[in-house]
Structure 1
Amino acid sequence: MLLITCPVTRTDELVADRRIRSVTNLPTHIALHVECPSCGSVHVYRTGRRRTAAPAPVREARTAVPA
């Protein structure tokens, strides 16, 4: 079960898993295409990071090793 907010009616809807039409795995997030029981159209809900936010590069920690 998913709790979604319909962007058309602005109501919160509890949606069964069978209403998920497709799942797209993208590099920055996962997109769920869900059929809305309130208005009947398919909405896209994204999980994870925003598409514009790229993950910061990981820098190595440089520590001096005692001799």
Structure 2
Amino acid sequence: MTLITCPVTRTDELVSDRRIRSVTNHPTHIALAVECPACGSVHVYRTGRRWEAARATAARPADRLVHA
């Protein structure tokens, strides 16, 4: 069982393993495609420590630019 948050209805849903459509291993994260019981769509959830670190780095403002 997996607990997901549906991005459409913003509700927490408990999903059985049979609703997981695919699992893809990437260098920075693992992507799970899950069929949502709330809205019927397939949502992709990404997990992993390096994924969160990459997102945090990309979200930083470029306030430390070096001027030549």
Tell me the TM-score normalised to structure 2 length: 0.73
Alignment match, 2:46: 46
Which secondary structure does the structure 2 equivalent of 1:13 belong to? strand
> Which aligned segments of 4 or more residues in structure 1 are displaced greater than 2 angstroms?
none
2:5 is matched with: 5
Identify the residue that residue 59 of structure 2 maps to in structure 1: none
Matched, 1:31 2:25: no
Deviation at 1:50, TM superposition (A): 1.8
Shift of 1:51: 6.9
Q: Corresponding residue for 2:61?
A: none
In terms of fraction of residues, the more helix-rich structure is 2
RMSD: 1.3
* Alpha-carbon distance in 2 for matches of 1:52, 1:42: 25
Aligned sequence identity (%): 85
Tell me the residue number matched to 2:60: none
Q: Gaps spanning 5+ residues in structure 1: where?
A: 54-67
Q: How many residues align?
A: 53
* Structure of larger gyration radius: 1
